[in-house]
Amino acid sequence: MDENAIRALMARHTDLWIRHEMDEWGALFTEDSDFITHRGLWWRTRAENVAGHKDVPPSVLDQKKNYTQDVVDIQEVTADVALVHTVWTWPDHRLPGAPAEDRRGLITFVLVRTPDGWRIRAAHNTRENGLTDFTATAT
């Protein structure tokens, strides 16, 4: 496993996300990749993932400069599969008409080695402080 190549992929992932270069960002994923959003949407292809992430209000795009993502763990599953965990923060995130909030969370990535280098096969994004988004209460 080439940890430096994986870290470089994740740094590029973050940079393209911040710049909202979603087509280039999408190229970091396999065609059949899965992405589960922090709200529980499950996109099952690269195309669905990119389209879903392009659909962002312009006001949110301006805030992406505040986003950070750091690799906190890389584990080799096999020589061609890696498990990567990142921590992200997004201070002063503001949806249209809503107050600003400091968001943070974790993303679990499954990376696979392809002829073109490491690519993201699956990602699961979880908000660490997202419970207040839901109005339903447990009974």
What DSSP letter does each residue of 98-132 carry, written as one string? S--EEEEEEEEEEEEEETTEEEEEEEEEEETT-GG
Contact, 42 vs 33, CB < 8 A? no
- For residue 122, which amino acid is it? A
pLDDT band, very low/low/confident/very high, at 130 (cuts 50, 70, 90): low
Q: Give tens-digit pLDDT for 102-119.
A: 999 999 999 999 999 999
Q: Please, what is the average pLDDT of the chain?
A: 92
Distance CA 139, CA 135 (A): 13
Q: Which residue has the higher pLDDT, 58 or 12?
A: 12
Instruction: Indicate whether 66 pLDDT > 70.
Output: yes
> Which helix (H) or strand (E) segment is 93 a member of?
strand 81-93
Instruction: Indicate whether 137 pLDDT > 60.
Output: no
Q: Give tens-digit pLDDT for 68-99.
A: 999 999 999 999 999 999 999 999 998 888 89
Strand 117-127 relative to strand 29-36, pairing: parallel
Instruction: Indicate whether 131 pLDDT > 90.
Output: no
The domain ranges of the chain are 3-130
Contact, 121 vs 111, CB < 8 A? yes
Average pLDDT over residues 119-134: 82
pTM: 0.90
Looking at the structure, give the CATH architecture of the domain made up of residues 3-130.
Answer: Roll (3.10)
